[in-house]
């Protein structure tokens, strides 16, 4: 990694995952007073002026080099976050993150089916092991809530598509342009969802977080949404910086620590304890993700001119 700074990159990613694991545990508090669509609309409304101010200070450019790829990438990643945060209204952060980390499996499938890449048996087997780990964490036959269990997996699918688009279409785009596009799309999605919910019968029970329209925001809702906005900007910028300082195959390994940090914060904040099956599943997810990243790095070295 000539010219790279792997220690600084790892530190940036670890700090980002530590922060995400913390702030996402507060979504359960947000869900008590508001719905998914209001959360996204208000969080983006808070985040966009902050991003604009940071860009105005010279920290980055908001102008994309190619508008259509950035818009498409923002829309796909926005869908991933809709499903991920929707799941957080019902599942723990560790469970939702486990579903999100089906992304490496979907990346391999997309690489083979769409991009025509060849995937070796080692990476394919590792992806299957990772998916088995996800099943151990989520256990879709438990509790009869399979439709909720599918939400983080769908988040993983769209996150994988967003990753492929980022790598192939948006690799040279300014980080602040990608960040602003992401929040702008979520703001539009939030407003569209609120408009749709105004025509939808009021929901009660478990579905209320997903099907709740506009409600007068409480001080607690505004505060935790603001915490989410600030934390999201900081964590995304840390992730971007991490990927700028070292190879993606090296950096991506450290993103799996989100599963550990999320579970640790849930225990510290609410006393949540995950069982042995879930711990085994997390170990399989981390192990498979690390193996895929290491094999990808080796493959790139082998094919380098």
What phi, psi does 214 have (nearest 5°)?
-70, 135
The C-alpha R_g of the chain, in whole angstroms, comes to: 19
Domain segments of the chain: what residues?
6-303
CA distances from 211 to 20, 140, 204 (A): 25, 22, 9
Scanning the chain, the segments in alpha helix (DSSP H) are 6-23, 27-33, 36-56, 67-88, 93-100, 103-113, 121-138, 146-169, 175-197, 208-211, 219-245, 248-255, 257-270, 276-303
Check if the beta carbon of residue 239 is closer than 8 Å to that of residue 13.
Answer: yes
CA distance 12 to 8: 6
The candidate with the shortest Cα–Cα distance to 233, out of 175, 281, 172, 193, is: 175
Number of alpha carbons in the 13 Å side-chain half-sphere of residue 187:
15
Residue with tokens 């530590």: 18
**Whether pTM exceeds 0.95:** no
Q: Please list the pLDDT of the chain residue by residue as tens digits (305 residues).
A: 444 677 888 888 899 999 999 999 999 899 888 899 999 999 999 999 999 999 999 888 999 999 999 999 999 999 999 999 999 888 888 888 888 888 777 877 887 777 666 767 777 787 788 888 887 887 766 555 567 788 998 998 998 888 888 877 887 889 899 999 999 999 999 999 999 998 876 665 556 888 888 989 999 999 999 999 999 999 988 887 787 676 665 676 788 888 888 888 988 988 888 888 888 888 888 888 778 777 766 666 665 55
């Amino acid at each position: 990694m000539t010219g790279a700074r792997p220690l600084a990159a790892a530190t940036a990613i670890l700090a980002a995952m530590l922060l995400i694991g913390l702030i996402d545990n507060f979504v359960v508090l947000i869900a008590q007073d508001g719905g998914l669509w209001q959360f996204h609309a208000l969080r983006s409304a808070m985040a966009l002026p902050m991003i604009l101010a940071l860009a105005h200070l010279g920290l980055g450019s908001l102008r994309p080099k190619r508008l259509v790829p950035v818009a498409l990438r923002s829309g796909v990643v926005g869908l991933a976050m809709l499903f991920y945060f929707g799941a957080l209204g019902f599942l723990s952060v560790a469970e939702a993150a486990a579903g999100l980390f089906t992304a490496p499996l979907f990346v391999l499938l997309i690489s083979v089916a769409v991009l025509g890449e060849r995937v070796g048996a080692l990476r394919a087997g590792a992806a299957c092991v990772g998916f088995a780990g996800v099943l151990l964490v989520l256990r879709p036959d438990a509790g009869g809530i399979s439709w909720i269990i599918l939400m983080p997996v769908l988040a993983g699918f769209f996150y994988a598509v967003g990753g492929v688009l980022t790598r192939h279409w948006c690799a040279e785009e300014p980080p602040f342009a990608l960040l602003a596009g992401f929040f702008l799309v979520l703001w539009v999605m939030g407003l569209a969802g609120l408009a749709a919910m105004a025509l939808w019968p009021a929901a009660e029970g478990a579905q209320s977080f997903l099907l709740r329209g506009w409600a007068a925001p409480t001080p607690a809702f505004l505060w935790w949404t603001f915490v989410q906005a600030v934390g999201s900007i900081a964590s995304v910028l840390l992730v971007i910086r991490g990927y700028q300082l070292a190879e993606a195959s090296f950096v991506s390994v450290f993103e799996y620590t989100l599963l550990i940090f999320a579970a640790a914060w849930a225990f510290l904040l609410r006393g949540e304890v995950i069982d042995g099956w879930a711990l085994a599943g997390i170990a399989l997810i981390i192990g498979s993700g690390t193996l895929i990243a290491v094999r990808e790095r080796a493959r790139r070295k082998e094919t380098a001119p």
